[in-house]
């Protein structure tokens, strides 16, 4: 025979082990993780933007959680960008096929001029 204490015990065990979390709690955890990712991305981009702004370039930061090529084209269109500048690693062959080419996808999805800069090789 179940007692009200059995329900409390089951709820307590579920809470401790994270099992059967309500959907709202799962969403809050996911939102918290996205907030941390966004903050880290913004800090990283701000440090690079400051270098470009120091030489007189108008730089904006826009962090989005979408496939990279889609986010780049969407941001450029939404901000009426005059140019998209991207670093490319210049992969070819199997590595390019396996990793995909964001630059290639952007090139085929936008009418905005695109400047590709070869990324510096790691030493």
Domain-wise residue ranges, the chain? 1-58, 64-123
Q: Decide: helix, strand or coil at residue 114.
A: strand
Query: How many CB atoms are located within 10 Å of the residue 73 CB?
Result: 20
pTM: 0.62
Examine the pLDDT at 21 and tell me if it is beyond 80.
no
* Rounded Cα distance, 24 and 26, in Å: 5
Mean pLDDT value across residues 33-57: 93
* Rounded Cα distance, 7 and 104, in Å: 56
Examine the pLDDT at 120 and tell me if it is beyond 80.
no
Q: What is the pLDDT of residues 66-91, one digit of tens each?
A: 899 999 999 999 999 999 988 887 67
Span 64-123 CATH architecture? 3-Layer(aba) Sandwich (3.40)
């Amino acid at each position: 025979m179940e007692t009200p204490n059995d329900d409390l015990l089951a709820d307590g065990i579920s809470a401790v082990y994270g099992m059967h979390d309500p959907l709202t709690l799962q969403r809050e955890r996911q939102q918290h993780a996205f907030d941390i990712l966004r903050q880290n991305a913004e800090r990283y981009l701000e440090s690079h933007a400051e270098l470009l702004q120091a030489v007189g370039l108008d730089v904006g930061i826009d962090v989005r959680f979408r496939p990279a090529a889609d986010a780049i084209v969407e941001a450029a269109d939404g901000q009426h960008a005059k140019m998209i500048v991207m670093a490319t690693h210049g992969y070819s062959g199997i590595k390019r096929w396996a990793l995909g080419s964001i630059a290639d996808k952007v090139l085929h999805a936008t009418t905005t001029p695109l400047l590709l800069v070869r990324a510096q090789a790691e030493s």
